[in-house]
C-alpha cells in the first residue's frame, strides 16, 4: 500500500459542516458504548432522532475521550478520539446544542473562555414592521 492512501499528520480527518446541528450529551459517556447504545442515549437523554443527520457528541468522565455519532443516510459514522495528554473543555451552561465553531475549537484544544466572536449580521434578529390595514 502506498503512503498516499494514508492521511498525513495534522490533516483534518473529520469534516464539520455549518449545515448540520451538533448536540452535546451533558452527562459522562461510557466510551465502551457502541452504535446501538449511543443511539439509545440520544433517544433517551437528548430526546432526538439519531437517524436525523445531526451530530451527537459524547465525552467521558475524565474528558480525555470524545465520540461523535452521525447517521449518513446509509449507516452510522462514529468518530472517536483519545487524547494522550490534556482534556477536552466542556462548554459552559446547560444547553446541549453547540455550534460548529465551538465543536471545532473543542476538538483542537482551544480554550473556549478565550474565544470572542466579532459582531456579524444576524437575519434572525430583524424586526419586521407590522402594517396596519
> Which residue pairs, CB below 8 angstroms and at least 24 apart, start in 81-85?
81/107
User: Residues 19-45: pLDDT tens digits?
Assistant: 899 999 999 999 999 999 999 999 999
d(CA 107, CA 98): 13
User: What pLDDT score was predicted for residue 13?
Assistant: 60
Whether pLDDT at 92 is above 80: yes
Nearest CA among 65, 68, 78 for reference residue 22: 68
Which pLDDT band, with edges at 50, 70 and 90, does 131 fall under?
Answer: low
DSSP E strands, the chain: 22-24, 55-59, 65-71, 76-82, 97-98
Whether pLDDT at 7 is above 60: no
Which pLDDT band, with edges at 50, 70 and 90, does 9 fall under?
Answer: very low
Q: Which of 2-11, 88-97, 124-133 has the highest mean pLDDT?
A: 88-97
| Cβ atoms 38, 56 nearer than 8 A | yes
Average pLDDT over residues 84-90: 94
CB atoms within 10 A of CB 107: 17
Amino acid at each position: 500500500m502506498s503512503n498516499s492512501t494514508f492521511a498525513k499528520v495534522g490533516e483534518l480527518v473529520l469534516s464539520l459542516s455549518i449545515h448540520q446541528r451538533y448536540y452535546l450529551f451533558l452527562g459522562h459517556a461510557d466510551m465502551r458504548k457502541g452504535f446501538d447504545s449511543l443511539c439509545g442515549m440520544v433517544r433517551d437523554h437528548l430526546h432526538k432522532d439519531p437517524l436525523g443527520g445531526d451530530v451527537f457528541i459524547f465525552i467521558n468522565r475524565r474528558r480525555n475521550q470524545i465520540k461523535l455519532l452521525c447517521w449518513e443516510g446509509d449507516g452510522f459514522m462514529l468518530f472517536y478520539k483519545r487524547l494522550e495528554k490534556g482534556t477536552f473543555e466542556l462548554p459552559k451552561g446547560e444547553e446541549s446544542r453547540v455550534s460548529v465553531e465551538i465543536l471545532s475549537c473543542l476538538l483542537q484544544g482551544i480554550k473556549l473562555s478565550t474565544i470572542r466572536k466579532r459582531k456579524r449580521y444576524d437575519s434572525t434578529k430583524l424586526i419586521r414592521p407590522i402594517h396596519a390595514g
